[in-house]
């Protein structure tokens, strides 16, 4: 029934607007290493999860492939001329959810209130908002605790839900994904986006069908009427699927296969720097940690141990051997896209094993220690191989690593629940501002901030400076505060930066797209060559 309707709509749209590609080429078979963790749009702040959500749900604003703002469910936005604590957003009229319900300001108020709630993974983005007001059906005001000059930048992955649908299906509360909860919203969706969910089998296959009532028909290429999404964790299998024609588009071409894919007739590889840093975090705040062989003490609590670990890592060797040149060694946990990044802060210390051993001895760990390292094996480019390489380097200064590599679905809860002592994480910055990094990774883990900071680092002065960023309108003063916070992060060796990730998308020549620095293809922008 759905296919008959889609075919009819396809014919009309092709004749009237040219919005869809020819019927024989309208299925895009897409693969990447890992699946979305949930369909609940506020339950997980994670790239692949947001990428799938962008096809089904929509935020008020999105970013295009250049990183610039693009109107989505809002047509325009601006700070109020009469009150500097208010931003006004005018909404797109005539938009419907996939079940036919009208999209109005009431849904925006509901969605933001839901995203601000305790179990939401998006709440750090909204800490400055004290009230959301529906002025009328298509006007929303956001009241902030002091003027917030960059508020819209926090909205690009904040998806709008239908209030009535959420209430009817008992999903007003956000899925508590960190504690294993499953809800109706985790397995079902009702968005305003260009696609609807035709079928979904997590970690196996998800099929999306074009939404014939999408408001953007005629405004976007919408080259594909069907998207078949297949997570393929194994790198060799993923590449084989592209080479054989089983899939048309993969987001993560393994670095060892770039030449093979790029030299195959009918295939292309497109590459771009990603807005993401890969790094290690340590539980430095506990008096004692569980997954080590040191009784009654925490080696990571000593900054000399953290600095020794930093000196032991040969980032250039990781770049050359593990990443085959497809990474940029990093000295800070913010990529060059981000306000607050500087060349000086990002300078990489060369490996110095002897200096590292001296620091270990000074800290009282001259004989080293053993500790568990937690690592995902299906999230970042060569994530498990990176952990293996780092483990060997730390072994040179006496730190023996028990590597625990597992799916991101098991790995991320360790970080969110604070049950890991040493872990690998990658962090993108969709707001392009350091405040995003600080809110999630540096602020004390309390209240609406610090949800991805299991390090135990807590500094009241730093916390106060982070909070001040959301209401400082003097951009020079704001940037000076950002610099002060980064100096503390670097001096404390809060994290061990490894590298800025590089994106490699592989596709057939018929797929028309450019690489997004956010690694979040939005298929409404795809055309068929």
Query: What was the pLDDT predicted at 366?
Result: 97
String of DSSP letters for 394-448: HHTTTEEEEEEEE-HHHHHHHHHTT--SEEEEEEE-TTSBHHHHHHHHTS-SBTT
Statement: residue 9 has pLDDT above 60: no
Report, as an integer, the average pLDDT of 6-18.
32
Q: In sequence order, which residues have a C-beta less than 8 Å from that of residue 49 and are 6 or more positions away?
A: 36, 37, 38, 43
3-state helix, strand, coil in the chain (%, to 5): 35, 25, 45
Asked if residues 177 and 78 have their Cβ atoms less than 8 Å apart, the reply is no
Let me know whether 284 and 155 are in one domain. Answer: no
In angstroms, the CA 180 to CA 171 distance is 15
Q: Is residue 204 part of a domain?
A: yes
Instruction: Give whole-number Cα distances, 201 to 1, 76, 205, 206, 407, in Å.
Output: 21, 37, 5, 6, 17
Query: What was the pLDDT predicted at 8?
Result: 30
In whole numbers, what is the pLDDT of the chain averaged over residues?
A: 94
Query: What was the pLDDT predicted at 3?
Result: 30
Q: Is residue 258 part of a domain?
A: no
Let me know whether 446 and 491 are in one domain. Answer: yes
Statement: residue 416 has pLDDT above 80: yes
In angstroms, the CA 439 to CA 437 distance is 6
Let me know whether 324 and 412 are in one domain. Answer: yes
Domain span holding position 335: 274-502
Percent of the chain past pLDDT 70, that is, above it, reads 95
Let me know whether 463 and 378 are in one domain. Answer: yes
Let me know whether 389 and 354 are in one domain. Answer: yes
In angstroms, the CA 169 to CA 188 distance is 10
Asked if residues 218 and 17 have their Cβ atoms less than 8 Å apart, the reply is yes
Terminal Cα-to-Cα distance of the chain (whole angstroms): 29
Let me know whether 279 and 132 are in one domain. Answer: no
Whichever domain contains 476, its CATH number is 3.10.105.10
Q: Is residue 159 part of a domain?
A: yes
Let me know whether 168 and 33 are in one domain. Answer: yes
Whichever domain contains 107, its CATH number is 3.40.190.10
Of residues 9 and 257, the one with the higher pLDDT is 257
Let me know whether 386 and 517 are in one domain. Answer: no
Q: Is residue 115 part of a domain?
A: yes
Report, as an integer, the average pLDDT of 414-424.
97
pLDDT tens per residue across span 107-162: 999 999 999 999 999 999 999 999 999 999 999 999 999 999 999 999 999 999 99
Q: Is residue 297 part of a domain?
A: yes
Query: What was the pLDDT predicted at 6?
Result: 29
Statement: residue 163 has pLDDT above 50: yes
Let me know whether 16 and 82 are in one domain. Answer: yes
pLDDT tens per residue across span 167-185: 999 999 999 998 999 999 9
Let me know whether 348 and 317 are in one domain. Answer: yes
Q: Is residue 418 part of a domain?
A: yes
Q: Is residue 356 part of a domain?
A: yes
Q: In sequence order, which residues have a C-beta less than 8 Å from that of residue 392 and are 6 or more positions away?
A: none
Let me know whether 136 and 67 are in one domain. Answer: yes
Statement: residue 516 has pLDDT above 50: yes
Query: What domain count does the chain have?
Result: 2
CB atoms within 10 A of CB 446: 11
Report, as an integer, the average pLDDT of 459-479.
96
Query: What was the pLDDT predicted at 447?
Result: 86
Q: Is residue 289 part of a domain?
A: yes
In angstroms, the CA 129 to CA 261 distance is 47
Statement: residue 16 has pLDDT above 80: no
Let me know whether 355 and 410 are in one domain. Answer: yes
Asked if residues 57 and 191 have their Cβ atoms less than 8 Å apart, the reply is yes
Percent of the chain past pLDDT 90, that is, above it, reads 93
Asked if residues 447 and 474 have their Cβ atoms less than 8 Å apart, the reply is no
């Amino acid at each position: 029934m759905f296919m008959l309707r889609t075919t009819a709509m396809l014919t009309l749209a092709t004749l009237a607007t040219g919005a869809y590609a020819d019927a024989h080429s309208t299925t895009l078979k897409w693969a990447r290493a890992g699946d979305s963790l949930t369909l609940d749009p506020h339950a997980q702040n994670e790239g692949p999860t947001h990428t799938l959500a962008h096809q089904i749900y929509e935020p008020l604003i999105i970013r295009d492939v250049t990183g610039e703002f693009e109107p989505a469910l809002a047509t325009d936005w601006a700070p109020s001329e009469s009150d500097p604590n208010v931003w006004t957003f005018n909404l797109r009229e005539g938009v419907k959810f996939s079940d036919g319900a009208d999209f109005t300001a009431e849904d925006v108020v509901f969605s933001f209130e839901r995203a601000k709630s305790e179990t939401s993974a998006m709440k750090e983005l909204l800490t400055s908002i004290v009230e959301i007001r529906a002025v009328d059906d298509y006007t929303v005001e956001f009241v902030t605790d002091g003027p917030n000059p960059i508020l819209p930048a926090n909205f690009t992955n904040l998806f709008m839900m239908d209030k009535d649908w959420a209430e009817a299906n008992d999903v007003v509360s956000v899925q508590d994904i960190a504690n294993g909860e499953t809800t109706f919203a985790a397995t079902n969706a009702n968005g305003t986006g260009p696609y609807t969910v035709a079928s979904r089998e997590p970690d196996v296959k998800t099929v999306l069908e074009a939404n014939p009532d999408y408001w953007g028909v005629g405004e976007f290429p919408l080259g594909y009427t069907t998207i078949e999404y297949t997570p393929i964790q194994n790198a060799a299998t993923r590449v084989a699927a592209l080479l054989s024609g089983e899939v048309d588009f993969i987001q993560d071409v393994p670095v060892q296969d770039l030449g093979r894919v790029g030299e195959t007739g009918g295939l292309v590889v497109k590459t771009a720097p990603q807005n993401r840093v890969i790094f290690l975090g340590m539980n430095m705040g506990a008096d004692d940690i569980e997954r080590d062989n040191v009784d009654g003490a925490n080696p990571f609590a000593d900054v000399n141990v953290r600095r020794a670990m930093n000196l032991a890592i040969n980032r250039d060797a990781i770049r050359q051997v593990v990443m085959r040149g497809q990474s940029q060694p990093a000295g800070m946990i913010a990529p060059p896209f981000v306000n607050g990044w500087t060349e000086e802060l990002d300078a990489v210390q060369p490996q110095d094993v002897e200096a590292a051993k001296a620091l270990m001895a000074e800290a009282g760990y001259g004989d080293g220690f053993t500790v568990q390292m937690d690592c995902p094996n299906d999230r970042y480019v060569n994530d498990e191989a990176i952990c293996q390489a780092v483990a060997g380097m730390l072994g040179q200064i006496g730190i023996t690593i028990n590597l625990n590599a597992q799916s991101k679905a098991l790995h991320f809860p360790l970080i969110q629940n604070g049950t890991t002592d040493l872990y690998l994480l990658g962090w993108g910055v969709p707001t392009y501002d350091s405040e995003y990094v600080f809110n999630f990774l540096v602020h004390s883990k309390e209240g609406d901030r610090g949800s991805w900071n299991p390090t135990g680092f807590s500094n009241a002065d730093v916390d106060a400076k982070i909070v001040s960023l959301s209401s400082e309108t003097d951009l020079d003063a704001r940037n000076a505060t950002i610099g002060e916070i980064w100096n503390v992060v670097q001096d404390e060796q809060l994290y061990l930066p490894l590298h800025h990730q590089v994106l490699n998308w592989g596709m057939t020549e018929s797929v028309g797209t450019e690489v997004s620095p956010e690694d979040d293809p939005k298929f409404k922008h795809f055309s068929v060559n």
